[in-house]
């Protein structure tokens, strides 16, 4: 569960099933009591109806927490941390980055760095479309070493330059 909407769905389903909880956070729920097998099955089925999955595998939970940390870091924090991603993730999860990265790769089939890059590019797209920021400001905000580095990575991921992408919002589709 890596989005606010997911958190709301989990809360709603727990309330519908009358399952008491202490708190719900992105990727985890702290319950007052242990769920019965019937409650767990009902909750899991309810979540599947929304495209969510009840995770019980410890490795999957750790990977989900890693995704949560990355999404929050890139999309919700005002500025990205100045320390390296590996140090940041390791400190947030209180675990060895090497072990976390290996687990992430085994579980998702992509590296943590690739996952971070894809989210940074999504953030760049958002900033290009909805904010009036220069590429210099965007590069600084997302800790790119330079504007050319941002542009190269953006084009590699999307197939177009950031300025071309920004220009696409100006073009309106023709009506027939």
Query: Taking 90 as the threshold, does the pLDDT of residue 28 lie above it?
Result: no
Residues 44 and 110 in one domain: no
Residues 36 and 74 in one domain: no
- For 11, the domain range is 1-54
Residues 19 and 66 in one domain: no
Residues 41 and 85 in one domain: no
- Nearest alpha carbon to residue 93 among 59, 56, 144, 122: 59
Calculate the average pLDDT of the chain.
Answer: 87
Strands 28-31 and 21-25, how do they pair? antiparallel
- Nearest alpha carbon to residue 17 among 4, 1, 28, 33: 33
**pLDDT tens figures, 57-114:** 778 888 988 999 999 999 887 777 778 899 999 999 999 999 999 999 999 999 999 9
Number of domains in the chain: 2
Question: pLDDT-derived band of residue 118, with 50, 70 and 90 as boundaries?
Answer: very high
What's residue 127's pLDDT? 93
Tokens 């999955």 sit on residue: 53
Residues 50 and 64 in one domain: no
Residues 31 and 114 in one domain: no
Query: Taking 80 as the threshold, does the pLDDT of residue 55 lie above it?
Result: no
Looking at the chain, the whole-number percentage of residues with pLDDT higher than 90 is 48
Residue 174, judged by CB atoms within 10 A of its CB (0-12, 13-18, 19+), counts as exposed
- Supply 144's token pair: 């790119």
As a whole number, mean pLDDT of residues 16-32 equals 82
Residues 8 and 71 in one domain: no
Query: Taking 50 as the threshold, does the pLDDT of residue 1 lie above it?
Result: no
The 3-state secondary structure of the chain reads: CCCHHHHHHHHHHHHHCCCCEEEEECCEEEECCCCCHHHHHHHHHHHHCCCCCCCCCHHHHHHHHHHHHHHHHHHHCCCCCCCCHHHHHHHHHCCCHHHHHHHHHHHHCCCHHHHHHHHHHHHHHHHHHHCCCCHHHHHHHCCCCCHHHHHHHHHHHHCCCHHHHHHHCCCCCCCC
Residues 100 and 140 in one domain: yes
What's residue 76's pLDDT? 84
Residues 134 and 73 in one domain: yes
What's residue 4's pLDDT? 76
Query: Taking 80 as the threshold, does the pLDDT of residue 42 lie above it?
Result: yes
Distance CA 119, CA 123 (A): 6
Residues 158 and 107 in one domain: yes
Residues 47 and 61 in one domain: no
Residues 173 and 120 in one domain: yes
């Amino acid at each position: 569960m890596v989005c606010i909407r997911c958190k709301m769905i989990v809360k709603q389903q727990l309330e519908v099933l009358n399952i008491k909880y202490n708190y719900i956070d992105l990727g985890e729920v702290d319950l007052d009591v242990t769920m019965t097998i019937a409650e767990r099955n009902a909750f899991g089925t309810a979540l599947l109806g929304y495209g969510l999955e009840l995770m019980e595998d410890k490795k999957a939970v750790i990977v989900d927490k890693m995704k949560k940390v990355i999404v929050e870091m890139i999309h919700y924090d005002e500025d990205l941390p100045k320390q390296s991603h590996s140090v940041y993730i390791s400190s947030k999860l209180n675990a060895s980055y090497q072990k976390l990265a290996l687990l992430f790769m085994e579980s998702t089939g992509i590296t943590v760095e690739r996952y971070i890059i894809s989210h940074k590019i999504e953030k760049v797209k958002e900033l290009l479309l909805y904010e009036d920021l220069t590429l210099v400001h965007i590069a600084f905000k997302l800790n790119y070493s330079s504007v050319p580095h941002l542009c190269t990575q953006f084009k590699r991921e999307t197939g177009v330059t950031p300025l071309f992408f920004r220009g696409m919002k100006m073009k309106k589709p023709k009506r027939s």
